[in-house]
Amino acid sequence: MVSTEEVGDIFVLRVDAVRLDSAVGTIIRNAVVSKLDSTRKFALDIGAVKLVDSGGLGSLVALLKNITNHQGRLALVGMNKSVRMMFELSRMDRQFSLLEDMPKAVAFLQQA
């Protein structure tokens, strides 16, 4: 459901689920919390996700807050059109850093 890898000092998470809900959000949160002592840069690839429900969005907001409270940065990567539209309609695109692909996310996070 969620795979991880480290690219330099960036912790990359890839969501392989079509729906990002609170259950997937919990898996993501647990993976990030386990790395907060060793890194502050996180890229979440949600290219496979077709739907983010309210529980998933809430999980992402809590995740962003947790990461920023630890002086970290989070990039959401590879969002499809419908998910991006949902982020724009809810104005969450103003809270999150939305990047088109992983090379752009890595460059963005390396600036930190």
Give the torsion sign (CA, 47, 92, 3, 19): negative
DSSP-derived secondary structure letter, 40: S
- Which CATH fold would you assign to the domain 2-110? Transcription Regulator spoIIAA (3.30.750)
pLDDT band at 4 (very low <50, low <70, confident <90, very high): very high
Tens digit of each residue's pLDDT (9 = 90 or more) over 50-103: 999 999 999 999 999 999 999 999 999 999 999 999 999 999 999 999 999 999
pLDDT on residue 112 = 61
As a whole number of angstroms, the distance between CA 65 and CA 18 comes to: 24
- Which one, of 51, 42, 46, 41, lies nearest residue 19 by Cα? 51
- Which one, of 34, 52, 32, lies nearest residue 93 by Cα? 52
pLDDT on residue 80 = 96
